[in-house]
Chains A and B, each alone.
Chain A
Amino acid sequence: MTNRFENLKNIFIDSVDKDNFVELESATYNYKILEESLNKPLKMVLLFGKPGTGKSMLLNKLYHNLKESRDIFFFDAPILSEKEFLRRVYESISAKDIPHNMRVNFDGLLRYCQKLKGEREIVFLLDECQLYSETLMEKIRLLSDTRVVKFIITLHKTDDEDIIAKQHFKTRIWEVVELSNATENDLHIYIQKKMIQKGFVEIAHMLQKKDIKFIHKHTHGNFRETNKFLYTLFDIYEYYDENIPHKVSNKKFSKKFLEMTALKLGYING
């Protein structure tokens, strides 16, 4: 018989699975903006925010929702080789496999895209674009100029680097969607919804405002950090539930366990 906390902790394993998407007010709003921007004659849409703010999850959700109705492709992992990137783009558009001993010529790809003008409108979703080289980014820009290929790219927002200011994005980006960390209220909804979705209703209702405050204080509302925190918390719960069950309350979250989690993750020093 599996421990209830074992199943519970697994739902907080960090993944970009569309089923794990939690409909938060802010996430829904950003999703709508993205969806609407696809209908506009825009070349590029930038989705940016700090790591763990839900960029990849949003792209994933967009892809799965639109893949049946639109010409849309999702590169969830960055393709660092230029040769490989051009090959994957060509294969996606043409739906043909290229033999490994052959390569795609960029000029040829551009001409191919121009031929499709007025016939097709293809959307590419590119995650982790801060890892792409400047040359490759320049080629992406040229491809978007054909008005046949549209790119939605995600970038990490860093404190010391203003990505938007980069020259190759400046003139082409028409829509910018910025994602930020969750507020205490959003975080509460996020955790509760995630647990309720998987049937842990009782435990979801054990969560009090002060617990959320504690979690938010240490994770700053970052979804990735929050997932990590809750995974560790339920890992501790699992141990106590199996070994010292009288220490596990069914009415409220233990402050001791919350503090132990923070200690384990290094948020506080013991």
Chain B
Amino acid sequence: MDNIRELEKRWYYYKVKKILLFLNSFGFVVMLGLGSYYAFIKVHLIENIFNTETLLVKSEIETPKLTVEPVLVAKPIENVIKSIEPREIVMASKNEGIEGSVPHEVSLEPIIPIIDMEKEERKSTHTTKYRAPSRQTAQSGLVRAKPSAYLTASELATINGKSYSSSSHSRDTRSIKKINLNGTSDNYIETIKKKFASNKQPREALLLAKAFYAEKNYNKSEEWALKANKLDSNLEESWYLFAKSKAKLGQKADAIKILTSYYKQRHLPKAKALIIKIKSERL
């Protein structure tokens, strides 16, 4: 009967062994699965990097072609929005192999020229003062030759034989001071707006778009970027600003759509980098 007791013990060992074996096998299968998944992800990632690098090299090679062709007119943003089907865009972005990896970063942050009007004025006054002819020179009636093609008002007066009126100078200063009092960024925008109203230059529209973007007024920046692009569809910055504004407004898909289309036309690394930034939400 002791044999049966012994046998029962052996049976318990057998069961424990069986359970352990099962757990081992199960663990092995799980590890194998995870390993395969990890390997798959890795391979996928490497493939993407490889594709991106190839694309970058390709675009670098192709860039001179763009410069060789003097007139390369990109379709305006509006046409692009109308002509591109969303499915086509997805396919295009997949084919380009952009997603996943980040190439060399190109900063696309808008550089808005915030002009400190007061400082500018001070500088201008200082220059005027500096450029004012010395007493000795005025007395001698001679004007020292200047390397610059532009002459100051006092120099011109000396050349023309007229006395330089300091009152006119002071009037100028007063008028500048008047501007100085309203030297805010709103004023800057207003000034550029006025300038745009008078000359209808795309550059002014772009400056406005940049200014609005800096103020986080993305609706306005989008609007002005579009205006700039309408006037000159080759204005690279207008594309980026428009897309960035769209992205900031939560219309990422549209932003990517626009940029992909632009990238397909121009193969600019900046455009590609921006697509990646928007996709990876690092804008």
Contact = CB atoms under 8 A, between A and B. Distances in A.
Are both chains from one complex? yes
Interface of A: 236, 239-240, 243, 256, 259-260, 263-264, 268-270
A252 to B, nearest CB: 18
Nearest to A238: B4
Interface stretch (B9-17, B75-83, B269-277): B9-17
A236 B11 contact: no
B10 A263 contact: yes
A243 B5 CA distance: 11
Interface in B1-45: 1, 4, 7-8, 10-11, 13-15, 17
Given A260-B7, A260-B8, A263-B7, A239 B14 contact: no
Contacts of A243: 1
Nearest to B13: A270
A68 to B, nearest CB: 46
Contacts of B8: 260
Contacts of B17: 270
Contact of B1 (A239, A268, A269, A270): A239
Given A240-B4, A243-B1, 18 more contacts: A236-B4, A236-B7, A239-B1, A239-B4, A256-B11, A259-B11, A259-B15, A260-B7, A260-B8, A260-B10, A263-B10, A263-B11, A263-B14, A268-B14, A269-B14, A270-B11, A270-B14, A270-B17
* Closest 5 pairs (CB-CB, A-B): A270-B10, A270-B14, A239-B4, A260-B11, A270-B13
Contacts of A270: 10-11, 13-14, 17
Contacts, number: 26
Contacts of B4: 236, 239-240
Nearest to B17: A270
A97 B127 CA distance: 155
B7 A259 contact: no
Contacts of B11: 256, 259-260, 263, 270
Nearest to A269: B14
Interface of B: 1, 4, 7-8, 10-11, 13-15, 17
A259 B14 contact: yes
Given A239-B1, A243-B1, A264 B14 contact: no
Which of A240, A263, A270: most chain B Cβ within 10 A? Answer: A270
26 contacts: A236-B4, A236-B7, A239-B1, A239-B4, A240-B4, A243-B1, A256-B11, A259-B11, A259-B14, A259-B15, A260-B7, A260-B8, A260-B10, A260-B11, A263-B7, A263-B10, A263-B11, A263-B14, A264-B7, A268-B14, A269-B14, A270-B10, A270-B11, A270-B13, A270-B14, A270-B17
Nearest to B14: A270
Nearest to B11: A260
Contacts of B1: 239, 243
Contacts of A260: 7-8, 10-11
Contacts of B10: 260, 263, 270
Contacts of B7: 236, 260, 263-264
A236 B11 CA distance: 13
A269 B10 CA distance: 9
A263 B10 CA distance: 8
Nearest to A257: B11
Contacts of A240: 4
A259 B13 CA distance: 12
A269 B18 CA distance: 10
Nearest to A268: B14
A264 B11 CA distance: 9
Max chain A C-beta neighbours (<10 A), residue from B1, B11, B15, B17: B11
Nearest to B5: A239
A81 to B, nearest CB: 41
B13 to A, nearest CB: 5
A263 B18 CA distance: 13
Nearest to B15: A259
A125 B11 CA distance: 45
